[in-house]
Amino acid sequence: MISKNSIEARNFVKPHLTKMQDKVFNVLVIHGKPLTAIQIAEVLDKRINAVTPRLNELLYDSHKIKIVSNTVEIKGKQKSLYAVRQENDPIAKREKSWKDKYFDLSAEYQQLRIEFEELQNRKMTLDALANEEKK
């Protein structure tokens, strides 16, 4: 059972939306239909560069919205449609940066080198034992 203090502590530290995030989120709530970043920017009378980062924060950090479709074509360009995320919708995850991928591969490489060296040592031991048995 979760204590009252735990619930209060969680509510205290849970992420709160900034003013701009709240504005972007409210546009999606009020319209009730999926919108592109450009459409949201037009409703808010803001530049697209002010809206896109807030959409990414709402999508990846606070998980308040979702991408409905990546394949909407507007004026010959592919656009994403954003909508309010329901509780049972999957959570969006950021793709790893090249640095994170590099460090993952580097760690994997180091582990494989260690395993390879262990196998070489075992082989040398087995070869030495085999040579002694032949004598």
Domain residue ranges of the chain, discontinuous segments joined by +: 4-84, 95-135
Average confidence (pLDDT) per 10 residues, the chain, 135 residues: 55 68 90 90 94 88 78 77 81 71 86 92 89 78
Phi, psi of 91 (to 5 degrees): -85, 135
Give per-residue burial for 4-35: e unless 16+ CB within 10 Å, then b: eeeeeeeeeeeeebeeebebbbebbeeeeebb
Residue 73 CA, chain-centre distance (Å), reads 25
- pLDDT for 79 equals 84
For 4-84, CATH number out of 1.10.530.10, 1.10.10.10, 3.40.190.80, 1.10.486.10 equals 1.10.10.10
Residue 114: the pLDDT is 92
Q: Residue 116: its pLDDT value, please?
A: 92
pLDDT at 127: 87
